[in-house]
Amino acid sequence: MNLQVLPDPDQVASRAAAIIAAEARAAVQSRGRFAVAVSGGRTPWAMLRVLNSMELPWGSVHVVQVDERIAPEDHQDRNLTHLIASLAGNGHTAVPHIHAMPVGVTDIDAAAAQYARTLSDVAGSPPVLDLVHLGLGTDGHTASLIPGDPVLDVADADVAVTGPYQDRRRITLTYPILNRARRVLWVVTGEDKAAMLARLFRGDRTIPAGRIRQDHATVVADQAAARQVAATLPGS
């Protein structure tokens, strides 16, 4: 796992956007499209706003969601609300294809299955995403893979429904598709993430984030979040 430490969240957002942009250009050149899965969060929305300002082959970019809360359309709890706001109005000739998780339907299990089919349409069968962007919770969760939730044990589906977490159920990508991705980009900021980031870096599989493959992963973190990791690195 590669670690890149920047002074503050704004610089983390800019660096992460640059990584995604480079991956997008390379993927479109070699495979004709770029399939990226994005998570929510304050720094990620800043990252997407930076990315939105870049010249990219947007018409060949497919954006899918890592997870989504089951909430009304346009609700501030929805990651999609912020995702669209961050990527809207880029002024480019082409715009990215944004594939929203269909959380508004009555049968939420059917919605998860429907989204799995969307992923196959976007990224092949089985779907292989070019890049997955992930965050890290203070409890060690990533995506909506929450400690103690049965979704952690899903091995036969790429998309699944969670139990309640912070008052809402969610649809989430599961370990099988996350671990098939060509590249994983972790974006982690804030001192409250320092202990969990150190555990992630050690490959601690007792936390949900620790079960994500590390051999093709990059962590972009601010100094506050990386404090405990940086203290264990050679030359520190």
The set of residues, in sequence order, having a beta carbon less than 8 Å from that of 171 and lying 6+ positions away, is 67, 68, 70, 101, 103, 108, 111, 112, 115, 144, 159, 160, 161, 162
Q: Which residues sit opposite 68 in a β-bridge? A: 171
Rounded distance between C-alpha atoms, residue 68 and residue 80, angstroms: 7
Q: Tens digits of per-residue pLDDT, 20-59?
A: 999 999 999 999 999 999 998 889 999 999 999 999 999 9
Average pLDDT over residues 163-170: 83
Please calculate the CA angle 149-136-214 and round it to the nearest 5 degrees: 95
CATH of domain 2-166+182-230: 3.40.50.1360
Give the Cβ contact number of residue 88 at 10 Å: 10
Provide the pLDDT for residue 76.
67
Q: What is the pLDDT of residue 166?
A: 77
Alpha-carbon separation of residue 41 from 38, 45, 127 (angstroms): 10, 6, 25
Is pTM beyond 0.85? Reply is yes
pLDDT of 236? 45
Bigger pLDDT: 78 vs 26: 26
